[in-house]
Every structure is written in structure tokens, then in C-alpha cells.
Amino acid sequence: MKRWIAIVLVVLVLGGIIYYNKFYKKQPGGSGGGGRGGAPAGQAGGKGNSGPTSINVFVVTSQNLKDEVVATGSLIAAEQVDIYPEISGRIVQLNIQEGRSVSQGTLLVKLYDGDLQAQLLKLRSLEENNRRIEERNKQLLERGGISQQEYDVIVTNLKGTLADIEVTKAALRRTEIRAPFSGTIGLRNVSLGAVVSPNTLIARLQQTNSMKLDFSVPEKYSPSVKIGSVISFQIDGLDKTFNGSVYAIEPGVEEATRNLRIRARVNNNSSNLRPGTFAKVSLVINNSRALVVPTQSVIPQTRGSQVVVIENGKAVFKDVKIGLRNASVVEVTQGLQQGDTVATTGLIFLRPDSPVKITKVDKLTGQSQAEKGAGAGNSASM
């Protein structure tokens, strides 16, 4: 009995499979018919075979292309010195007017020197006495009244006195602090009558009619930076661009940052610039004419780049080598010629040799009217 039941179940299963393959599998919606939403045979991709793809294009032109390095820098005074006394003493004269200009050699601070002046008077008196003794003994030496050795001792005493006078004069000079160069004196930290030491900062003197700008660039740009290179920079708070020129370059690259330190000279006749100000610096390292295309027309590849060139109404994919790049254009160093027409839109819909329809010719901002007219003529001929 069980055997017959098993035979009946096998027959029913086989019959169900045959019935399904014969009637349901061929109906619309089955796995073999492409589904109700599938595209009819021969129309895979739909729109791609319905007609030419509408695109915008750009006519390859040459223009000046700048390669700029943007860096951060800091303004410093052309000359700057912190004023400290050389010796300890009491200030008896203070000629510092804060924020005012001073000339080179102007006396800024005078320390008490009464003891040194008294010592100088004593040494001058001793000098006069030693000179008289030297003159008398010189006459005695000529007449044979004294020996040469005795005369040499007297001369040595005179020279020692003269040396002591020079030492005292040097000590007196250290009681005076004079401006080492012309500049602007800053805020003073002492008052008249204060007792100061060599560790006491009195004020700061800066020369700001011309200034220096220190900044750094990556080491890969070091071959392109030259003495005399022009820079431009901006600072916060002033809606103005300032210019300068490179006059010094550090011989070596900093090991910690792999940057090259550069110093430029800046004119500050308007007195708008102040030492210590942060600056955003732009340095042009290359400025030459080159073939350019819009950035959106370049298709990145694993080992290079491609652009779509329109030839005889069809899309042709070409490998190119690119160079400099900015926000809007890319330099093409190999693979294109001036006058070629490249696609700028619809790149994802294009296939090799697919037909296209040009709807608009894009222009680069800043082109002259003559360049625009020439570009339009070239695109029409294509």
C-alpha cells in the first residue's frame, strides 16, 4: 500500500513540474520573459539608442596659466632690538617718548655715573703727574743720570694710567643707552629713578618704514623660488593686497617640516603694516601659456586621464596628460591640440563612437571677445 502511495506522489510532482514549465514560465512576469518592467528585446539602455546625446562642449584654447603657492607668513620689522642696560644702576635721565620716532645715536637712557666721573678725574691727575715724571727722567737718561731700566719702569706706569683712563671711559659709555638705528620706540617698562640691571627690559626699538615677511613653502617648490620673485599677500582687517619681493632664501630645508624658509622685503610707506601680523601669502612659481580645458571635462582613470573629443559628430575617447590645475581649468600637456572640441556635460551617457548633438559652447571666464569669437567659429566647423 505504501509503495503505491509513493508512486502516486512522484507522478504528481513530475506532472506539476511539467505543467509549470509549459504554461507559467512563458507568461509575462516570469523569469524568462524579462519581467513586466523590462525593456523590449533590442532596446537595452533605452535612451542611449533613441538618438544623439545632447551635450555642451568646449573648444581647446591656450591661455596664461599661473601656478601659485599659497602659504602663511608673519611680518617682522626690518630692524628690531630689545633695549637692556649693560650694567646695573639708577636711571637719572630718561628720553623715551613712547610710540615716537628716534634717530640713530639719540640718547635714550642715562644711568648714574658719579663714581666713575670721580675715578676718571683721579686718573687724569695721575696721568699728568706721570707725564711730568716721564719728561724729567727722559732728560736724566740722556745725560746718563738714570739707567734705561729705571726709565722703562716710569714709562710703564704712565701707560698703565692711560689704560685705566680708557677702561673708565668704557664704563662711562655703558651708563648711556643710545639708539643703534633710526626707528620707532615702543612702550617703556621703567620710570625715571628706577634701579635697573642687565636683565631689565627698558623698551623695544623697531624700524618699520620697510618690513620683512617670513614664510615657508614645501620643498618640492624650492627649485622654482628665485631671488627677486614677486609675492602678494593680504592681512586681516585691510581689504587690500600688498606686494613684495624675495631677497633671501634659507640654504637648507627644515628637517622637521620639509619646508623651505623664505624672506621677502615689503615697503611700508603707508604705515599700515605692523610687525607680528599674520599674512596670507601667494607666490607665483610659474606663469606661461598652455592648452587648457575645464576641470569637469577630464575623466579620471586608474593610470591617467581621458577626455571626450567630438569628431564628425561622434564621441572619441582620448588619453591625455595633465599638468597644472586650478579651480576652473586643467592644463593638458599631451593628447590634445588647440581647436579640438571636448565634451563638458553628459559624460556618463557617452560611449565610444556614440552620436552627439552640441547644444552649447562653454566659455572660460576672463576670455577676450576675440578669443570667444574664434572659439565659436571653431566649434561651428566641427
Distances (CA, A) of 105 to 37, 157, 180, 213, 262: 95, 35, 6, 27, 32
Interval 13-37 mean pLDDT: 52
- How many other C-beta atoms lie within 10 A of the C-beta of residue 282? 15
Given this model, what pLDDT does residue 41 score?
A: 34
Kindly report, residue by residue over 200-239, the tens digit of the pLDDT: 999 999 999 999 999 999 998 888 888 998 999 999 988 8
Interval 35-51 mean pLDDT: 41
- Residue 47 pLDDT > 70: no
Question: In sequence order, which ranges of the chain are alpha helices (DSSP H)?
Answer: 2-19, 114-143, 148-173, 369-381
Residues 6+ apart with CB under 8 A from 321: 304, 305, 332, 333, 334, 335
More confident residue, 157 or 330: 157
- Residue 34 pLDDT > 50: no
Distances (CA, A) of 133 to 156, 160, 194: 12, 14, 45
Q: Domain spans of the chain?
A: 52-67+288-375, 69-78+206-287, 85-112+177-201, 118-174
Burial of 168-183, coded b for 16+ CB within 10 Å and e otherwise, reads beebeeebebebeeeb
Distances (CA, A) of 73 to 122, 209, 215, 245: 57, 19, 4, 14
Please report the DSSP string for 61-97 in residue order.
EEEEEEEEEEEEEEEEEEEEEEE--SS-EEEEEE---
DSSP character at residue 110: E
Interval 26-35 mean pLDDT: 41
Confidence of residue 373 (pLDDT cuts 50, 70, 90): very low
All three cell numbers of 263: 624672506
DSSP character at residue 280: E
The correct CATH number of 52-67+288-375 out of 3.10.20.70, 2.40.420.20, 1.10.260.40, 3.30.70.260 is 2.40.420.20
All three cell numbers of 153: 719702569
Looking at the whole model, is its pTM more than 0.75?
no
CATH code: domain 118-174 is 1.10.287
- How many other C-beta atoms lie within 10 A of the C-beta of residue 365? 6
Nearest to 362 by CA among 124, 20, 17, 55: 55
- Residue 348 pLDDT > 70: yes
CB 278 within 8 A of CB 72: yes
More confident residue, 11 or 182: 182
For domain 69-78+206-287, give the fold: Elongation Factor Tu (Ef-tu); domain 3 (2.40.30)
Given this model, what pLDDT does residue 14 score?
A: 67
Residues 6+ apart with CB under 8 A from 286: 65, 66, 67, 224, 324
More confident residue, 365 or 310: 310
CATH 2.40.50.100: does it fit domain 85-112+177-201?
yes
Given this model, what pLDDT does residue 135 score?
A: 92
Cα separation, 125 vs 132, in Å, equals 11
Distances (CA, A) of 62 to 219, 291, 299: 29, 4, 20
Nearest to 298 by CA among 286, 283, 308: 308
